[in-house]
């Protein structure tokens, strides 16, 4: 059999689902793994899985993404998000695979408000999650390979995922009050657009290193909520404002985490779609998914469906 094109980690997560679907859409072969097939705590399982499947590319989306939860268990966060990435990079070296590591705006402290973060801006994570992802970045960059990419993104959401727009819409439709933060600004990013950018980067032959990939434009969480509601014809729903400090969450988040996509734009010869355009496509995709899930329990987005250990072609 010909070589597997991609192995996708975190294939059950919101980005992993979009990446495996986009690969299949392109007529390429992907194998998706998640907690059960390749637990990221276990170096042995990572090496044996990758040496068995020997993909041309590894798209590493798997991570502990519960930012507040990471504060309670820093060891697990650093092992799964950081060390596991080093083990994946080690395996990539053994099988000569390219590697795309999805990282985060939370490697920055948010102190340069008003200026998007360039790829070479100095990281200074405020949280355990951010420092664990930075550890993963260093492991990938340390390999100095031309086909190894660290792709930082932000505020990720997509069809079938548990995410901010879903929560806002659910609360609004249930008539529950909405109160959203005004003093954190970033770029919401649709999984479908990010997946295309990750795959295009693999195909681009662009030099290895750090790239930033978010939908273009930026907003506060409050503005994002308003934009989602407007797009869903719920623009009359009231959204109260609050400050991040009022929430007293365990993990500190950057107040400004807008990323400068220009290096990615140059590599791909195009810019990322705007976040407002992405919201409209999210709502369309989400309604199709929900309708399909109601009719077929095997469809992603239905909790009884499964994507684990599955080959996509
Ligand atoms: N979500 C965001 O806003 C955001 C922003 C910037 C960057 N990112 C990065 O983007 C990537 C994808 O994020 P996402 O939003 O798709 O997250 P997600 O939906 O939480 O998906 C992550 C996947 O990784 C799996 N995973 C967790 N612990 C694991 C372990 N020990 N072994 C194997 N798999 C494990 C999760 O399984 P369970 O669900 O069973 O735990 C889940 O299927 C991550 O690398 C994240 O750091 C996300």
* Ligand 1 atom nearest to CA at 66: 20
Q: State what percent of residues in the chain have pLDDT above 70.
A: 94
Indicate whether 146 pLDDT > 90.
yes
pLDDT at 185: 98
Mean confidence (pLDDT) of the chain: 94
Nearest-CA residue for ligand 1 atom 4 is 156
Query: Is position 312 annotated as part of the catalytic site?
Result: no
Residues 79-126 have pLDDT tens digits of 999 999 999 999 999 999 999 999 999 999 999 989 999 999 999 999
Q: State what percent of residues in the chain have pLDDT above 90.
A: 89
Per annotation, catalytic residue among 129, 149, 211, 275: 129
Indicate whether 308 pLDDT > 60.
no
Indicate whether 307 pLDDT > 60.
no
pLDDT at 297: 58
pLDDT at 309: 58
Question: Is beta strand 6-9 parallel, antiparallel or unpaired with respect to 98-104?
Answer: unpaired
* Ligand 1 atom nearest to CA at 40: 32
CA of 62 to the centre of ligand 1 (A): 5
- What residues are in contact with ligand 1 under a 6 Å CB criterion? 10, 12-16, 34-35, 39-41, 61-65, 80, 102, 104, 133, 153-156, 161
CA of 244 to the centre of ligand 1 (A): 23
Among left, alpha and beta (phi > 0; psi -120 to 50; other), residue 171 is alpha
Point out which residues pair with 33 in neighbouring strands.
Answer: 9
Q: Which residues of 88-106 are buried (b: 16+ CB within 10 A; e: fewer)?
A: bbebbeebebbbbbbbbbb
Point out which residues pair with 57 in neighbouring strands.
Answer: 6, 98
Indicate whether 15 pLDDT > 70.
yes
Indicate whether 58 pLDDT > 60.
yes
Residues 16-35 have pLDDT tens digits of 999 999 999 999 999 999 99
CA of 205 to the centre of ligand 1 (A): 26
Residues 240-274 have pLDDT tens digits of 999 999 999 999 999 999 999 999 999 999 999 99
CB 127 within 8 A of CB 253: yes
What's CA 221's distance to the chain center, in Å? 17
Coil, strand or helix at 180: strand
Q: What is the mean pLDDT of residues 220-235?
A: 98
CA of 256 to the centre of ligand 1 (A): 22
DSSP 76-122: HHIIIIIIHHHHHHHHHHHHT-EEEEEEEGGGS-S-STTSPBPTTSP
pLDDT at 160: 87
pLDDT at 103: 98
Q: At 290, is the pLDDT very low, low, confident or very high (cuts 50, 70, 90)? A: confident
Q: Domain 6-162+188-216+258-272+297-312 is of which CATH architecture?
A: 3-Layer(aba) Sandwich (3.40)
pLDDT at 165: 97
Residues 60-77 have pLDDT tens digits of 999 999 999 999 999 999
* Ligand 1 atom nearest to CA at 15: 16
pLDDT at 312: 53
Ligand 1, pocket-test mutation among 37, 60, 61, most atoms within 8 A of CB = 61
């Amino acid at each position: 059999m010909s070589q597997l094109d991609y192995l996708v980690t975190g294939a059950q997560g919101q980005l992993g689902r979009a990446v495996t679907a986009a690969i299949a859409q392109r007529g390429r072969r992907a194998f998706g793994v998640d907690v059960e097939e390749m637990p990221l705590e276990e170096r042995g399982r990572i090496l044996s899985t990758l040496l068995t499947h020997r993909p041309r590319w590894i798209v590493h989306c798997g991570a502990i993404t519960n930012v507040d939860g990471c504060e309670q268990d820093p060891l697990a966060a650093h092992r799964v998000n950081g060390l596991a990435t080093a083990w994946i990079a080690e395996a990539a070296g053994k099988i000569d695979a390219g590697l795309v590591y999805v990282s985060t705006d939370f490697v920055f402290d948010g102190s340069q408000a008003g200026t998007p973060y360039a790829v070479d801006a100095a990281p200074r994570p405020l949280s355990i999650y951010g420092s664990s992802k930075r550890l993963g970045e260093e492991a990938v960059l340390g390999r100095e390979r031309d086909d190894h990419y660290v792709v930082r993104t932000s505020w990720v959401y997509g069809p079938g995922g548990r995410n901010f727009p879903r929560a806002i819409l659910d609360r609004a439709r249930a008539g529950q009050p909405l109160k959203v933060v005004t003093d954190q600004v970033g770029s919401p990013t649709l999984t479908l657009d990010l997946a295309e950018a990750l795959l295009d980067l693999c195909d681009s032959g662009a030099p290895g290193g750090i790239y930033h990939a978010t939908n273009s434009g930026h907003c506060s969480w409050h503005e994002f909520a308003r934009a989602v509601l407007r797009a869903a014809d719920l623009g009359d729903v009231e959204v109260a404002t609050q400050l991040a400090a009022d929430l007293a969450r365990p993990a500190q988040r950057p107040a400004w985490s807008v990323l400068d996509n220009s290096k990615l734009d140059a590599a791909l010869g195009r810019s990322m779609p705007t976040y407002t355009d992405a919201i409209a496509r999210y709502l369309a995709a989400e309604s199709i998914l929900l309708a399909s899930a109601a009719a077929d329990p095997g469809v992603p987005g239905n909790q009884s469906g499964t994507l684990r250990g599955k080959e996509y072609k």
